[in-house]
Amino acid sequence: MSKVHNFSAGPGILPQEVLDKSAEAILNFNGINLSILEISHRSKDYIPVMDEAQKLVKELLGLDDDFYVLFLGGGASMQFAMVPSNLLRTNGTAAYVNTGVWASKAIKEAKMIGNTNVVASSEDKNFNYIPKGYTIPADADYLHITSNNTIYGTQIKQFPKSPVPLVCDMSSDIFSRKINGNDFTLIYAGAQKNMGPAGATMVAVRQSALGKTDRKILSMLDYKVHIKGESMFNTPPVFPIYVSMLTMKWLKDNGGVEWIEKINRQKADLLYNEIDNNPLFIGTVEKEDRSDMNVCFLLKNTELEPEFDKLAKAGNLSGIRGHRDVGGYRASLYNALPLESVQVLVDVMKEFGRIKG
């Protein structure tokens, strides 16, 4: 069978060895002749999985002991409501930076819970850049940012030095580059782009930041309730957490975030270089804000798209069509995507340039 090069924006590509181990666990987990899909989340065989997953998050992000790691359901979209529910005081104000669709949705949810101030936005240019030089209100309860914007292909290269608690949605670039995790108060990420399959969301939150709001919080939205329940207040997404644990272990065993950051840089440089030098293509993002995870580009002549699509299909390239809000093409270069796949895409673009140039 010919190799398919998976550039899907999410659910995204996973390492082959993780898929192999996950498939084995579905049939027979830990040699107990039961599927991981069947066992109790409180069983002696599964509790070490949760413990290891939490430990790996803290290790890979370099988090101190004040952080507690949760694995929850509801996707990052649930966090759009949980963050203000837990951190926004009834008479306080939350500060948000709007850099795309998901940031906009987070803002919408926050506004339904309390006072919300959009301190910066790139909506004026269809989110093709990252706002800079904005003022962070010193009296805000927190500042919310989105590190990488999957749809528009922008990425924050330097995080703001915030005088207030910093909250970040890292759904599409978690573990892809070295960061100082302790600069944040709360980090959350849906697993399905760079960590595991859909169904689990990782939340790393400073325990010292909780319990300061005077609002009543629904139990399922209360971080303190989930921490007290050791991330098992309700039945957690057992299988997605297991796959996420395997993926993080794969990353650690191969050299960690420092190792994958170098490879991710190579992948992004290879593709952006072709976009900039092939006269048929053009990037959609300001160069200084280009994402290393989601590379968005267009054919200058859109009438050529069907022919390029045909050539891409022949090259076994999957998932490169852009989001409907942007159009064109998007290649997602998540951690598990090998450099070889990016080279195949570049070769197809070069061949198309030769044919049509």
Task: Give me the active site residues, please.
Answer: 102, 169, 193
Return all residues near 329 (Cβ < 8 A) that are at least 6 apart: 296, 297, 298, 299, 320, 321, 322
Beta bridge partners of 148: 155
Contact 236, 311 (CB under 8 A): no
Chain Cα centroid distance, residue 276 = 26
Spatial separation of the C-alpha atoms in residues 267 and 261, rounded to whole Å: 10
Other beta carbons within 10 angstroms of residue 168's beta carbon come to 24
Cα–Cα distance, 49 to 244 (Å, whole number): 10
Query: Which residues, at least 6 apart from 277, have a Cβ–Cβ distance to it below 8 Å?
Result: none
Radius of gyration of the chain measured on its C-alpha atoms: 21
Beta bridge partners of 93: 115
DSSP classification of residue 290: B
State how far the Cα of 212 lies from the Cα of 293, in Å rounded to an integer. Answer: 35
Tokens representing residue 95 in the block: 């500060």
- 140: tokens are 């805000």
- Tell me if 289 sits within 8 A of 130, measured CB to CB: yes
Would you call 219 helix, strand, or coil by DSSP?
A: helix
Q: Is the peptide bond before 11 cis (omega within 30 degrees of 0)?
A: yes
Residues 256, 60 contacting (CB under 8 angstroms): yes
CA angle, 338 then 341 then 343, to 5°: 110
